[in-house]
Structure 1
Amino acid sequence: MTQRKRHEPIVPSFHDKGDELPFHQWGQLEEGHNVIVQRDGGTLLTGVVDDRTHDASVFWVWLDGGRGRVAIYAQEGTTVWVPSGKPESATGEPG
């Protein structure tokens, strides 16, 4: 078994991380887009965009695995990636 370093992020195996989406481009996010989000260097969260504000300063994500819905704010030191390729859900079904 391979040991992870304590703060090494876990990238879900069912996504390629893809390109980082800077805050000034969050307006491109639309309902149904798959995203990977990391807040303040924490755990990577994967899910699907539910909605966003008109100015794109906040967007909401339904987290994979039935973990609920979270609001993502620009001022939190948040990094957002749009997965490359055609991601699949955690169950292996096309996303």
Structure 2
Amino acid sequence: MSLTVSELLALEGLSALRLRAGKQGLQRAVRWYYVAENEHIAEWIMGGELVFITGINHPRDEANLIQLLMEGKQRGIAGMVILTGEAYIHAIPATLIALADELACH
């Protein structure tokens, strides 16, 4: 049985996650997770994944984050989690948040 993005966000162990965009997609089922450590993700995902982007092994700039979002949308991901902080991606660009809302991604 799959959990929806909304149900995942309600789990006690994931309370640090914050929804920044894509409220329209909260009922999407999460089939699997994928940690994106490559420049591109399209060849590694099939749809329904919750994609985690850390920026640890592959530095991410705004253009690459937008590219990943577009690839994820095209492949039908359930959502995208971007880790932020000193060791990760410093901040989520406002343009990425706006685009995610426009594409109904999260």
User: Shorter-chain TM-score category?
Assistant: under 0.3
Give the structure with higher Rg (CA): 1
- Which structure has the highest strand share of the two? 1
Q: TM-score, normalised to structure 1's length? A: 0.25
- Which structure has the highest helix share of the two? 2
Q: TM-score, normalised to structure 2's length? A: 0.23
